[in-house]
Amino acid sequence: MVSIGNGVKSARRGTLAVLIHWIAPASKDTDAATLEKLDLERLKAAIRAQLDRPIAVNETRVDLREQFESLIDEYNSGSSQIEQLFLELLKLSRNLTDEEARHVREQLSEEELVVFDLLTRPGPDSRPRSATK
């Protein structure tokens, strides 16, 4: 169940492995839009923290960070609504959780998975860079 603005965000146990719970002060001055933005910031911080470990272990996962930054940029530019961003961030979080467990599913160690990814995922363009003057 996902609810925005009423203080409770719940994600599947495996998604963020935490219950994101915003305890808002009981103030009549705090409007729903402000609570939504605070909840969103909290979710973004949790996903940023969740991104660090898999990328540190396997740099081929940097595309996950790029996807995260792209979602944030779209929201900041005004091309997506807060509710849509929240749902997309939860989806990304689920993908992160799946990616962290992939080495078990593939029956590989983390190190073997890094090599596997280097061999099978498209890498940077191998064309020589032109010299800039």
Where along the chain do its domains lie? Answer: 8-25+32-120
Give the contacts of 90 (CB within 8 A, at least 6 positions apart).
2, 11, 15, 43
Single out the residue of 113, 112, 87 nearest to residue 98, CA to CA: 113
Q: What is the pLDDT of residue 80?
A: 80
Q: What is the CA radius of gyration of the chain?
A: 18
Instruction: Please give the average per-residue pLDDT across 88-110, as a whole number.
Output: 89
Over 70: is that where the pLDDT of 38 sits?
yes
Give the whole-angstrom CA distance, residue 65 versus residue 14. Answer: 19
Is 19 in contact with 47 (CB distance < 8 Å)? no
Q: What is the pLDDT of residue 71?
A: 93
Over 50: is that where the pLDDT of 43 sits?
yes
Mean pLDDT rounded to a whole number for the chain: 75
Q: What is the pLDDT of residue 29?
A: 60
